[in-house]
Amino acid sequence: MNIRFLFCFLLLVTGFCLAKAQTVANEVLSQDSIVLTDSTGCKYLVPVSVLSHKVEQPKEIQPIKKTKFHRPQRIDREIMEAVFIPKGQWLAGGTVSYSEHNEENLNFLVLKDVDGLGYSFNVSPYVGYFFRDNMAAGIRFAYNRKHLDLRNFELNLGEDFNIDLENLYYLEHKYEVSGFLRTYMPIGRSKIFGLFNEVRLTYGYAQGKNSTGAGTEYDGTYERSHNLQVGIAPGMAAFVTNWSAVEVSIGVMGYSFKWQDQKSNQIENGKRNTCSGNFKINLFSINIGMTFYL
């Protein structure tokens, strides 16, 4: 009895499924359909409504925006707001210095019987152009000559240590060329007084000779040298007219490299290489010059 009931139930379920499948197939066949063939040769009946159905395209993935690192806002101190020298002007000027000394039978502390004379001469013209307000670039030339003729010199440090020199002679010529960048800063709102700083790159070439003694005891050395210097020269400008100013500047502070070649008595050769850094303000190296603004 149970087996017959189970068998009858399975037949009913199978019949119901077949009827439902037939109904779906009839609905599909009742629609407008086309036959499609795949690459293997199998044919498929596909309703036109299926083919005309628009498939929604996936939305474009938006790139993740990178967040910028926000730096602290810079404080504008309005130091360069005032125009001291406007753009488009030319500057031209130069510095000249000369010093001379003459000693006769001079005695000072451990120095005895000093007899000699010497001088130092320096001239440095320059020209520049203001490519921005308060900022100029230009070129500078310099010539320096040093001369010393020491006929007698005695250093007395006691009975056991004495230095006595006679007929000491020294002469040097030095030529330099520099490229510079100069920036000005007015003092307050003044149109007359202002500060400036000059950055320089300098190349120099020098020739010199020194000798001691006389006659058969004469000893002489000839020297050539090259030097390269990178430094700064701060100063102050004061306008005396609308187009001219007096400038006071301090000696160049920075790094210096020097190469020297020597030949003594036309026989012996010597070399010397030096490098140094100097960022001290030397009040004895103050330069005074005149600059014209055109």
How far, CA to CA in Å, does 194 sit from each of 34, 151, 188, 241, 288? Answer: 93, 47, 9, 14, 15
Low-confidence spans in the chain with pLDDT less than 50: 55
How far, CA to CA in Å, does 233 sit from each of 34, 248, 251? Answer: 93, 10, 6
pLDDT tens sequence across 31-89: 555 656 666 666 666 555 555 555 455 555 556 555 555 566 666 666 656 778 888 88
Q: Phi and psi of 62, rounded to 5°?
A: -75, 130
What pLDDT does 245 receive? 86
Question: Is 287 within 8 Å of 251 (Cβ atoms)?
Answer: yes
Ramachandran sector of residue 48 (left: φ over 0; alpha: ψ -120 to 50; beta: rest): alpha
What pLDDT does 232 receive? 87
Q: Which of helix, strand or coil describes residue 8? A: helix
Quickly tell me which residue has 């010059």 as its tokens: 289
pLDDT tens sequence across 195-213: 888 899 999 999 888 888 7
DSSP-derived secondary structure letter, 89: -
Spatial separation of the C-alpha atoms in residues 116 and 254, rounded to whole Å: 33
What pLDDT does 174 receive? 93
Helix/strand/coil (H/E/C) assignment for every residue in 222-273: EEEEEEEEEEEEEEEEEECCCCEEEEEECCCEEEEEEEEEEEECCCEEEEEE
Q: Phi and psi of 83, rounded to 5°?
A: -90, 115
Residue type present at position 191: K
Spatial separation of the C-alpha atoms in residues 264 and 257, rounded to whole Å: 23
Residue type present at position 74: R
Q: Which of helix, strand or coil describes residue 102? A: strand
